[in-house]
Structure 1
Amino acid sequence: MTSFSHLRAAIVGTGFIGTVHREALRRLGIDVIGVLGSSPSRSKEKSAEWGVARAYFDYDEVLTDESVDVVHITSPNDQHFEHARGALTAGKHVVCEKPLAMNSSQTAELAELAASTGLVGAVNFNVRFYPQVHEMRERVANGSVGKPYLITGSYFQDWLLYDTDWNWRVEAARGGDLRVVGDVGSHWFDLATFVTGQRIVEVMADLTTFIPQRRRPTGEVATFGSATGPTVDYDVGSEDAGSILLRFAGGARGVVSVSQVSAGRKNAISFELNGSSASVAWRGERPEELWIGHRSEPNQVLLRDPSLLSASAAAISGLPGGHAEGFENGFKALYAAVYTDIAAGAPSAAPRYATFADGHYESLIVEAVGRSARTSSWATVGDGSAPLQGRGDTP
């Protein structure tokens, strides 16, 4: 494995996902030398908790720290654009949480900037890096599934089920106009395009807000955290759930449902592809299992085992069969791919991680979903002429 011990990272954002980034980097032997929180006191608190040498008090300190090679951006969505642009301009590689920015004008600018600088710009679509997801991708690519016909699935959560549940993502100014579609739907879209190698070109969306008014706490609430203290009424403009019909460039059809108000579903992403020869299906809450469906022979359940997987899937499988891998291992595998390119000094020809170009494309899908929901009609996804990253082919 490539050594990353000479690379230095800074993390911007100290919530749930920032902690996940830090732990994955630690496991890879990458030195996190500084952290920036939402306030100087938060920076100090996390610096001490994480054992990080430096607590930054503002973003300019991150940008002017010449020892920082890579900036991990896990701040709220409305800060991604300025943070990513600043880091690239300062000559630093970037790993940014999704969405890459608040709209496609911003994501286009970032994608162009990353390309012009030659720096690595990665978007944190971690679902790509489950071994069984790579296995599905390989089975589509090698033809064993046949021509993709139907692609279906869902991404359900329940952490915003009650009107007392709150997070900054509910505020359109901070989270974006589309909450569930942008937050978890984008993960599913990226999964579908990564596995199939086909772009989504048209969408038909039905979005619903079941809780039009929430009780907003007067203080901050961490992601997946519980609100306490006094509240004020807040009129919600973003969706709680939705269903979206999809048309793919290669002729496949699809449908996905997304929700953050589905009781009992904590982080339930599901994906099924029915092809002309076979089917494959995978669920994120049972990540070790890949279901393979047949017409004229018994169906199969392939458990994650590097000795039984394709070379691509085996390469990101860190443990032997029977030793369960999960959510955190996907981040480790993702950053191993990203930092391999960073160690080389530039993006590889066909990176399997999501690039800033992919982040821009995801923004175009989300915006098309919004247009479709407003007009109750099919909407065309914006420019999809660029090849899908990580496959090296053009739909």
Structure 2
Amino acid sequence: MYLPALKNHPKASIEAVAGRNPETTRAFASRWEIRKNYENAEELIEKAEIDALIVATGNDSHCPLTLKALERGLHVLCEKPLGLNFPEAAKMAAKAKEQGVVSMVPFTYSFMPATRYLRELIMDGYLGQPYHLNMRYYGGGGRKPGYLWRFDTRRGGTGALGDIGSHF
């Protein structure tokens, strides 16, 4: 999601990528013309010559990877949820403040036309005070073995509420 935007930004360069599978990580790096690839995120954080890091991993690794990057003085864009719980998120925010670096979470759905329109209707008072949201979200992530962590609360955290509800 971020690579096309970064590739086209005049002040950005993508220096390295990490993944769990060396073969697919090398292929990914080659496809996107990324010079360096690492077998794990920890190695990338330790060795890569970078200013910032995007943490787009399973939810259970957001906190440890973000803290490691912040400790190194890197700016971090961490996918949501920031942590599996409030104490993790608070620890990450405190570390960013302590290090004097930027740490942020993208909420991509917040800027989709339907979401912006719904927000406008609420802000204009057209819908009144919302007390309940009933929504359906369809996706095929459960059919992909690499995404089954989302259904394990120890690894995924809050499930659909944190995964999708956090955007609203």
| Superposition TM-score tier, normalisation by shorter sequence | 0.7 to 0.9
Distance 1:135 1:185, change over 3 A: closer
- C-alpha distance in 1 between matches for 2:167 and 2:59: 15
Distance 1:135 1:147, change over 3 A: closer
Higher strand share: 1
Q: Deviations over 1:255-284 (max 9, x none)?
A: xxxxxxxxxxxxxxxxxxxxxxxxxxxxxx
- The alpha carbon displacement at 1:146 in A equals 7.3
- C-alpha distance in 1 between matches for 2:141 and 2:36: 34
The aligned counterpart of 2:135 is: 154
The aligned counterpart of 1:184 is: 164
**What SS is found at the alignment partner of 1:71?**
strand
- The alpha carbon displacement at 1:107 in A equals 1.1
| Pairing 1:17-96 to 2, within 5 Å after superposition | 20-29=1-10, 30-65=12-47, 67-96=49-78
The aligned counterpart of 1:175 is: 156
| Pairing 1:297-312 to 2, within 5 Å after superposition | none
Are the aligned partners of 1:155 and 1:185 in contact in 2 as well (CA < 8 Å)? no
**What SS is found at the alignment partner of 1:72?**
strand
Tell me which structure has the larger Cα radius of gyration.
1
Gaps spanning 5+ residues in structure 1: where?
1-19, 189-395
**What SS is found at the alignment partner of 2:135?**
strand
2:80 to 82, 86, 98: 98
State which drifts further: 116-125 or 83-92. Answer: 116-125
Are the aligned partners of 2:121 and 2:127 in contact in 1 as well (CA < 8 Å)? no
- The alpha carbon displacement at 1:82 in A equals 0.7
TM-score by length of 2: 0.81
Equivalenced residue count is 164
Gaps spanning 5+ residues in structure 2: where?
none
Q: Deviations over 1:127-149 (max 9, x none)?
A: 222366556656766xx437952
Q: Percent identity?
A: 27
- The alpha carbon displacement at 1:43 in A equals 2.2
**What SS is found at the alignment partner of 1:154?**
coil
- C-alpha distance in 2 between matches for 1:80 and 1:116: 18
- C-alpha distance in 1 between matches for 2:116 and 2:141: 31
